[in-house]
Structure formats: structure tokens, C-alpha cells
Structure 1
Amino acid sequence: MAARTGRSPRRTESLSRERIVEAAVELLDSVGEGGLTFRALTERLATGPGAIYWHVANKGELLGAATEGVVAEAVAVKPGSADAPREEIRAVAFGLFDAIAEHPWLATQLSAQLSRSPLGMVTPRIFESIGRQVRALGVPEDGWFAATSALMHYILGAAGQHAANAAIGRDLGPGVDRGSYLDSVSTAWAQLDPDEYSFTRAVAGRLREHDDREQFLAGVDFILTGITSRGATATG
């Protein structure tokens, strides 16, 4: 009689930690954090809870692993030339922006990871992906931490706000799209008191016409310009 070789390759793959995390991300995307339960996970993977607990101890660890997996993919920028750190920072920024937009639960988890679990892999992974390029820009060493922190907090904050705005937009109901919503807000801004809100009235039309991704990148560029200008002054 042939000896038993254990689980089939497909079964082994379905019960790997990577497959469990992948299924968790799928659940988070479709039903949110509240719908991510070990029962739902066992049903999706067609397995028993024991097989999942073998790889993941609890929901907190599962959320952390899902967040780390999505972030790792988002910041995986192919190395460019030595004179392209600015472009690589932009690529990391857009990777995180798109990931947060694609995964509605990610912004909340990133906030929790950065504030409650700084010893985990998420914070240093983002910090490293930006910080290496800040260093390559020629920023003096005593400015590395501040410059990288400023970029990271802007990127995550702006991307998170964009995701929140998108979620609000989805709840506005049928017949109300982004354009019509921004048009109504722009009109309201234009009608504010001209003495108290002269600046807001002046840019009201920009609100109606702006592109979210272009605005996001403009913010990254503003910070990068300040970083490089200060570095040039410090070394000049």
C-alpha cells in the first residue's frame, strides 16, 4: 500500500498563512472589519478553525497581517536610477494612495498600526521606503527623521481623507455623483460672506474642477521642494 503523503499541494496552499491573509483581505474589502470573523474565514477557505488558528492566533494578528501585506505591495517600488529619488517617493506615495482608495478599511488600520503598534512591520516598512529616498535626495542626516515623518504623515493623512470623502460620496444616494456634489459645495463656498471668507470664495471654483490625484501629488511636491531647498541651504 502506498504511504500517505499528507495534504495535497492545493490543500496545503489553501491553509498557508499567505492564503489565509489573502482571504482576510478579500473579506475586509467586501464586508469590512465587522464581517471579518474566523467563522466567515473558515467558510471562505472551506476548512476548520483549527487550521487557521495554527497560523494566526486572533483577529488582531490577522488584521495586522492583512495591513502589512497590502502595504508591502503598495510600497514595492522597483529601484530606479540614483538620480531619481523624487520620482520614487512619488511612486510610493501613489502606491499608498491607491491602496487606501482600493481597500476602504486600510486607513483605519494604518492609523491603529502607527499609533498602537510602532514595533510592528507596517510603520518601519513605510518609513524605510520613504526615508531611503529622502537620504538619496542629499538631505543632511539631522533632517532625515523630520523630512521622512512629514512626508509619511502627509501621504497617509491626505490619502485617508480622500478615502473618507469617497465613502461619504458613496452614501449620498443615487443620482448624486462626485461632480454634482463638488459643484454644490463650490456654489455654497462662493456665496459665503466676502469679508470673512474672501480667500475661500476666491478658490471656490478650483474645488469644483480639481483632480484628487493631481492635488495629492501637488502636496507631495510642495513638501519635497521644501525638503530639498532646506537641504541645499544647510549644505551651501
Structure 2
Amino acid sequence: MRQGKKARSTQRREDSLSPDRIVEASIALLDSSGEKGLTFRALSERLATGPGAIYWHIASKNDLLTAACDAIVARTMSAPVDDATPKATIRALALAMFDAIDAHPWVGSALTRAPGQLPMVRVLERIGQPLRALGVPDEEQWATVSALLSYILGVGGQNAANTHFAREQGLDRTNFLNEVSTVWSQLDPDEYPFTRSVARRMSAHDDRVDFLVGIDLMLDGIGVARGR
């Protein structure tokens, strides 16, 4: 009798274990412990179930990481955009991805390791459609969207890496940037004239604003090319 109750209890736990629950628990683990912290053992403890029940839904850690990444990307890419113009849409989507990678640093590396899978396809499609609406010729669309994606993922990933490094080292952003600004301002004026000239702006720059400047430069370049 006791064994029957235990079997039914186990069955109920496994029945209530859905792919969505597994993915949400994986996201929580990734946010708190990074990719190294995402193990089937840690996940089974969080979900109060056995690893076998998780394997029933997801076959490997790579699949788990991709599914978690896809959940974040799907939410990010489905967010409404107030201004429906193509340029505004691309800016909004790019900034949304920048913020998503900042909030979930593992997303950037997960995307780069799954280039042909659904998470990347979602980003590609959402940015590609307004890019096409800008009038980019068919033969130039792939190169153009690739450049945008490389910038978004590269800068977003670097920003997330900087944030992670600062947290690990216990650095205060303002103090760190002030120190860098001071060092740069003391460089040899003949050898590093440009770096010295921007040193004072280093301590007060906004990463999100800088990111959007880059996006605007690329969009302006697309506009100039179309004008020619």
C-alpha cells in the first residue's frame, strides 16, 4: 500500500513537470550561477524531481541552454514597438536585445553557439523584416543584417562581460571609470592625443546610449547607400 502511494506521488510530480517549468527553472539557475551552475542535478533539486524526469523532456544540457535562450529571445522579440517605422523598430529591437543580454549575460554566448537554431532565427527574422522595408536590395540583405547582428551581439556580450567582471572584482562602476579617465588623461599627449581628448567623457558615458549611437550610425549608412 505504501509503495502504491509513493508511486502515485512520483507520477503526479512527473506529470506536473512541463517543459515550461524546466525552462523557467533553468533560466533562474543560469541567472544566479551561470552556465557552470546549470546541471541536471541542480535543476532536479530546484524542481524537486529526479534527473530522469527532466531527461524525459530535454535530452542534454545544450538543448536545455538553447531552450532557455529561446525563451528569453522570444519574449524580447515579441515586445511591442511604439513607433512602427522600420528604423525605429530596428532601434527598439536592438536595444531590447542589449538589455536582455545585460540582464541575462549567458544569452549572448548561448546565441553564438546556436547560430542556425530558433533563438537566432527569431532575431534574424524580426530585424530582417524592417531592414527589408528600408529598401535594402535582396543581394545586400544578408550582409547588412549580419553586420547588425554582429554589432548587437558583440557589443551586448562585451557589456555583459564587463558587468560580470565588475561584480566578480567588487568594482564600483563610477569609481572604476573615474580611475580609467584619470589614467588616460595622463598619457603622452603626442602619442595618444585622441585618447586624452575623450578621457574626461569616459567617467560619465552611458553604455546604452553609446550602443544606440552605433546602431544609428549603421542605419544612417544604410540610408546613404540607398540614396546612392
* Equivalent pair of 2:98/2:152 in contact (CA under 8 Å): yes
Q: 1:194 to 1:128 in 2, by over 3 A?
A: same
Partner residue of 1:135?
Answer: 132
Partner residue of 1:91?
Answer: 92
Distance 1:99 1:105 in 2: 10
Q: 1:79 to 1:104 in 2, by over 3 A?
A: closer
Partner residue of 2:110?
Answer: 109
Distance 2:172 2:192 in 1: 27
TM-aligned CA deviation for residue 49 of structure 1? 2.0
Distance 1:87 1:12 in 2: 45
Which stretch shifts more, 99-108 or 221-230? 99-108
TM-aligned CA deviation for residue 19 of structure 1? 1.0
Matched, 1:172 2:173: no
Which letter maps to 1:38? Answer: F
Identity rate of aligned residues, in percent?
A: 52
Q: 1:94 to 1:81 in 2, by over 3 A?
A: closer
Q: 1:105 to 1:14 in 2, by over 3 A?
A: farther
Query: 2:148 is matched with which residue: 151, 154, 178?
Result: 151
Gaps of 5+ in 2: 1-7
* Equivalent pair of 1:32/1:105 in contact (CA under 8 Å): yes
* Equivalent pair of 2:181/2:200 in contact (CA under 8 Å): yes
TM-aligned CA deviation for residue 171 of structure 1? 2.5
Distance 2:135 2:159 in 1: 31
Distance 2:68 2:149 in 1: 20
Matched, 1:230 2:225: yes
Please identify which structure carries the higher helix content: 2
Partner residue of 1:192?
Answer: 187
Distance 2:140 2:154 in 1: 21
Q: How many residues align?
A: 220
Q: 1:230 to 1:77 in 2, by over 3 A?
A: farther
RMSD of aligned Cα (Å): 2.0
Name the SS of the counterpart of 1:57 in structure 2. Answer: coil
